């Protein structure tokens, strides 16, 4: 029987048990939230009549609105549930994905790369690649990005279904469709305007609802010292409460990774690739009203990003300490067992009573909608401007492309539902997500980086380097699946685990992309200087902010993030 049919059949005939029943206040909170987001979509429809309004929110967002939306687009159910699961699976090492994978790359995006994106006034990252390398590179990156956003959107659907199944016992199809259709309606009506304003609302809802678990959990275990004691009693073999001290060998930590994988694979390639080239988040900063606001948006977001472990990593650590049963990988779940992916809803069921449950479930729904809305709005933009307009219908009216964007939003939702079933083939949500990043984002970062900082990079080299990096990453993944012995070559150790493999695979694919681009560039014709103005360092005049007071300059706030980052590394070493 095909995989898809097996997945659907298991969902149709499953009879999830209800852990908690919703009270009337809980139901009212959830219903009010759905009504509110639909109302925002209907209200903002009047402001989304042109393509600039629909796809870039009219470029009228302040630095704070763009910054909170920038982060909220990354705070979907994938983040809330996926990293809680990763923390249960890997311990405090999962916090690296918020700290070393946040501060350097987000500040670099704001200070260095946003001027190029903003000055070029492109609609998307593939749009920048078209200006820098040509149509073939844009087509390849556009198709890859569209595929990635749909696959990632499916994660949010699957995560939401888990919440409803574990906490409420709701039918999995009902929970997927009602939430998905809500997203389709408000994004198709208001475009990026609606997505951004709902994401800002969802940012506050997520924090308000998700803080319940760490607050009540830390009271139960007796603070951080009590949590460490309980974790050490439950887990005898590995150290789950340190960031760096266990990374001297592959076998000394639960992730099976060496510090080189964290520093170069995660901090160097995956993080920089995601935050600087993933149009899902870059699109929000590009909607800012001026260059300074666009530059400040990711820096503002980075402060909040480094506080996110409070609501995503800490619940996973608490679960290790307090849950009376052991969770297992998604691929090993037997009747009566729960998977890593179900950590957050299990903890929600443990701590939340009437009223608090409604708030907690609403926070998860908000996270689901935030992540999904970000993916489908980015999909609609890339499909319309980087695939449909240049290759299918070139000379249509602005109103026509807005209509296409609205229909692409609905199409993106439908395709996302189909891809949700693939998530069950991975041990955890985050293993799946990082595999996608290593396929599509890591090599893309190499192409964009060389395009911005190396005048000699040529159009042909950009295309073949990106293709080589993407195909090599997929090939490495397939090799390990076909023959696990290749893991010791790709991840440098037979003791490496899935997440470690993702980190090293991303590093190798980036290196391959860069090397292929450099070699081909040396033997092919580059663009003349006048075609590189506004696209490459050395040929672009960047507006100076030296006349501003120090506290208003982005570099001042970027330095503040660096201090915050260093303090966290020292405390949790």
* Mean pLDDT per 10-residue segment, the chain (573 residues): 32 41 74 72 59 50 68 67 82 85 83 75 74 87 80 71 65 67 61 58 70 86 86 74 82 80 84 76 71 81 84 87 79 72 78 70 68 69 74 75 74 73 62 77 89 90 94 90 83 74 88 95 90 79 72 80 86 84
Instruction: Look up the CATH superfamily of 15-571.
Output: Sodium/glucose cotransporter (1.20.1730.10)
Q: Which residues pair with 288 in a beta bridge?
A: 61
DSSP conformational letter for 543: P
From residue 447, alpha-carbon distances to 43, 132, 193 in Å are 40, 10, 30
Q: What is the pLDDT of residue 470?
A: 92
Tokens of 152: 């990632």
Distance CA 58, CA 42 (A): 17
From residue 463, alpha-carbon distances to 63, 354, 536 in Å are 34, 56, 17
Q: What is the pLDDT of residue 503?
A: 83
Distance CA 247, CA 252 (A): 7
Residue linked to tokens 């052991």: 326
Q: What is the pLDDT of residue 19?
A: 52
Q: What is the pLDDT of residue 48?
A: 52
| CA atoms lying within 13 Å on the CB side of residue 155 | 30
Q: What is the pLDDT of residue 259?
A: 87
Tokens of 344: 């957050």
CA-based nearest residue to 346, from 524, 570, 137, 165: 165
CA-based nearest residue to 260, from 558, 430, 500: 500
Give one DSSP letter per residue of 45-73, joined into a string: GGG--SHHHHHHGGG-B-HHHHHHHHHHT
Whether the CB-CB separation of 100 and 267 falls below 8 Å is answered with: yes
Whether the CB-CB separation of 155 and 82 falls below 8 Å is answered with: yes
Whether the CB-CB separation of 390 and 138 falls below 8 Å is answered with: yes
Neighbours of 439 (CB within 10 A): 26
CA 134 to chain centre: 27
DSSP conformational letter for 387: I
Which backbone phi and psi does 20 adopt, to 5 degrees?
-145, 145
Tokens of 397: 């009216």
Neighbours of 1 (CB within 10 A): 6
CA-based nearest residue to 184, from 417, 348, 361, 353: 417
Whether the CB-CB separation of 342 and 111 falls below 8 Å is answered with: no
The predicted model scores a pTM of: 0.72
Length of the chain in residues, anyone? Answer: 573
Distance CA 167, CA 20 (A): 6
Q: Which residues pair with 339 in a beta bridge?
A: 328
Sequence-separated (6 or more) residues with CB below 8 Å from residue 438: 270, 473, 477, 502, 505, 506, 509
Q: What is the pLDDT of residue 2?
A: 35
Instruction: Kindly compute the dihedral angle of the four CA atoms of residues 105, 111, 117, 119, in this order, to the nearest 10 degrees.
Output: 180
Whether the CB-CB separation of 430 and 499 falls below 8 Å is answered with: yes
CA-based nearest residue to 561, from 178, 107, 69: 107
Whether the CB-CB separation of 348 and 360 falls below 8 Å is answered with: yes
Neighbours of 8 (CB within 10 A): 13
Q: What is the pLDDT of residue 430?
A: 67
Where are any strands of DSSP class E within 368-452? none
Q: Which residues pair with 546 in a beta bridge?
A: none
Domain positions in the chain = 15-571
Q: Is 328 helix (H, G, I), strand (E, B) or coil?
A: strand
């Amino acid at each position: 029987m095909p995989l898809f049919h097996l997945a659907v059949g298991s969902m149709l005939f499953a009879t999830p048990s209800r852990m908690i029943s919703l009270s009337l206040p809980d139901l009212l909170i959830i219903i009010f939230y759905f009504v509110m987001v639909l109302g925002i979509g209907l209200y903002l429809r009047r402001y989304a009549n042109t393509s600039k309004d629909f796809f870039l929110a009219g470029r009228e967002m302040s630095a704070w609105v763009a910054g909170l939306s920038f982060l909220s687009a990354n705070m979907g159910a994938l983040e809330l549930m996926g990293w809680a699961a990763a923390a249960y699976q890997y311990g405090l090492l999962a916090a690296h994905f918020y700290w070393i994978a946040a501060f350097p790359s987000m500040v670099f995006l704001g200070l260095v790369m946003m001027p190029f994106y903003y000055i070029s006034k492109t609609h998307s990252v593939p749009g920048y690649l078209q200006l820098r390398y040509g149509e073939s590179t844009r087509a390849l990156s556009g198709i890859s990005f569209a595929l990635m956003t749909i696959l990632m959107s499916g994660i949010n659907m699957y995560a939401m279904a888990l919440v409803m199944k574990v906490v409420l016992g709701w039918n999995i199809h009902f929970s997927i469709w009602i939430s998905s259709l809500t997203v389709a309606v408000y994004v198709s009506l208001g475009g990026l305007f609606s997505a951004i304003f709902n994401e800002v609302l969802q940012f506050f809802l997520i924090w308000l609802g998700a803080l319940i678990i760490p607050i009540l959990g830390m009271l139960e275990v007796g603070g951080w010292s009590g949590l460490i004691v309980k974790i050490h009693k439950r887990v005898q073999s590995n150290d789950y409460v340190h960031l760096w001290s266990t990374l001297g060998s592959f076998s000394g930590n639960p992730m099976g990774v060496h510090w080189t994988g964290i520093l170069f694979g995660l901090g160097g390639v995956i993080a920089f690739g995601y935050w600087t080239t993933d149009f899902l988040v870059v699109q929000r900063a590009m909607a800012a009203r001026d260059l300074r606001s666009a530059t400040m948006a990711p820096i503002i977001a980075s402060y909040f990003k480094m506080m996110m472990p409070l609501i995503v990593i800490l619940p996973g650590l608490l679960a290790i300490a307090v849950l009376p049963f052991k969770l297992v990988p998604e691929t090993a779940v037997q009747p009566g067992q729960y998977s890593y992916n179900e950590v957050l809803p299990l903890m929600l069921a443990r701590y939340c009573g009437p009223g608090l449950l409604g708030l907690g479930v609403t926070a998860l729904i908000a996270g689901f909608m935030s992540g999904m809305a970000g993916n489908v709005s980015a999909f609609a933009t890339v499909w319309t401007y980087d695939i449909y307009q240049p290759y299918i219908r070139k000379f249509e009216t602005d109103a026509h492309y807005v209509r296409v964007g609205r229909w692409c939003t609905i199409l993106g939702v439908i395709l996302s539902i189909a891809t949700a079933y693939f998530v069950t083939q991975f041990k955890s949500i985050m293993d799946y997500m990082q595999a996608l990043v290593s396929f599509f984002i890591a090599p893309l970062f190499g192409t964009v980086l060389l395009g911005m900082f190396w005048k000699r990079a040529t159009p042909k080299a950009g295309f073949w380097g990106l293709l080589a990096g993407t195909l090599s990453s997929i090939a490495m993944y397939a090799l390990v699946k076909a023959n696990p012995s290749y893991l010791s070559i790709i991840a440098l150790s037979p003791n490496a685990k899935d997440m470690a493999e993702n980190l090293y695979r991303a590093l190798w694919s980036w290196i391959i992309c860069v090397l292929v681009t450099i070699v081909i560039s040396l033997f092919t014709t580059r663009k003349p200087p006048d075609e590189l103005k506004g696209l490459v360092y050395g040929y672009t005049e960047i507006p100076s902010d030296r006349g501003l007071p120090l506290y208003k300059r982005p570099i001042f706030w970027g330095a503040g993030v660096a201090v915050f980052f260093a303090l966290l590394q020292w405390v949790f070493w």
